[in-house]
Amino acid sequence: MKHIFLNLKRFDVPVEMGGVNRLAPVADWGQAIVEGTQDGLAAYDPSEVEFAAYLPEAHLLSAAAARKPGCPLQLGCQGVYRADTAVGGNFGAFTTNRPASAAKALGCESVLIGHCEERNDKMGILAEAGVTGTEASRAVNRLLNQEIRCAVARGMTVLYCIGEKSEEQDAWQQVLGEQLSLGLEGVDKSKVVIAYEPVWSIGPGKTPADKPYITKIARFVKEQTGGMDVVYGGGLKSDNAAMLASIPEIDGGLIALTRFSGEIGFYPEEYLEIIRLYLGK
C-alpha cells in the first residue's frame, strides 16, 4: 500500500494578508481543495494507494460537504489534544484545544501528529519554563504519545512525524529512536504511518536529503518498528518524485506546497501531477 498525504498548513491565508491562498475565498477554500482533487484521485485503485489531506479545522465542514459518494480523499486535522471527552467524564472543557472526539465529529478520519512545526511549538513552551535539551525532547515525545493514543482510541489513523535537526545529526539514531519508542509506546501500530522529516535539510538554501540518506533512515525506522510503513515527510514534489519512487523502503510521501517560485502556493492540478509522477501513472 502506498500513502500520499497532504499537509495544507495555513495555506488558506489570502495573499494580501501575507499568505499564499490564490485558490478561493477563505469561506470556500476547503470546498475548493476537495472539488479540485477528488475526481483525479478517483482514477487510482484504493487497494493500492490511500490519500489523506490535513486541513486547518475551520475548513473541515465545507470540505466534508464537497465530497462525492466514494470520494477517495480522507479528511484529517493537523493535531488533537492530549486528553479527550468521555461519557460520564470531561464533557468538553478544552477551551482553545481540539479533542479527538471533536475532530471525529467534524468528519476527520486521520490526524497529523508530531510535525516539526508542532514539535518546535512544544519545545518553545518548555523552553519558557526552563526545560531544554534532551529532557525537553523526551517530554515532547511523551506528549505526542498521549495525542496518538487519543486519536487511535477514537478510531482515527495517524501520520506520526519524526525527524532530526542539524544539531542532532550526529546523534540521529538516538533522536529518532526515542521519537519512535516514546511516541509509539502502547500504541496500535497498525493505525499509524511514520513520516520522516529531515528537518536539517528543509528550507531555502539548504541541501535536500539524498537517496542514500533517506534510504538509510527508512531502513532504520522499519527495523525499529517491526516494518511500519514509512513515507517521506520532507516534501514530495515534482523534482524528487521519481527519486523517492525508486526507494523500496519508502511507502509514499507528504505533499505541502506544489509551487515554490513565482506565485507560490498549493494548486490542485499540480498536486495531481506530483502524484502522477510519483506513482508513474
- Given pLDDT bands bounded at 50, 70 and 90, which one contains residue 205? confident
- Residue range of the domain that includes 210: 2-279
Over the stretch 29-45, which tens digit does the pLDDT of each residue have? 999 999 999 999 999 99
CA distance 192 to 212: 25
Active site (catalytic) residues = 115, 197
Over the stretch 57-67, which tens digit does the pLDDT of each residue have? 999 999 999 99
How many structural domains comprise the chain?
A: 1
Q: Helix (H, G, I), strand (E, B), or coil: what is residue 278?
A: helix
Task: Give the percent of the chain with pLDDT over 90.
Answer: 98
pLDDT of residue 281: 86
Alpha helix segments (H runs only) across the chain: 29-35, 38-41, 60-66, 100-105, 116-128, 133-153, 172-183, 211-225, 241-245, 268-279
pLDDT of residue 273: 98
- 221 pLDDT exceeds 90? yes
Q: What is the largest CA-CA distance in the chain?
A: 54
CATH code for the domain of 21 = 3.20.20.70
CA distance 127 to 125: 5
pLDDT of residue 43: 96
- CA 243 to chain CA centroid, nearest Å: 20
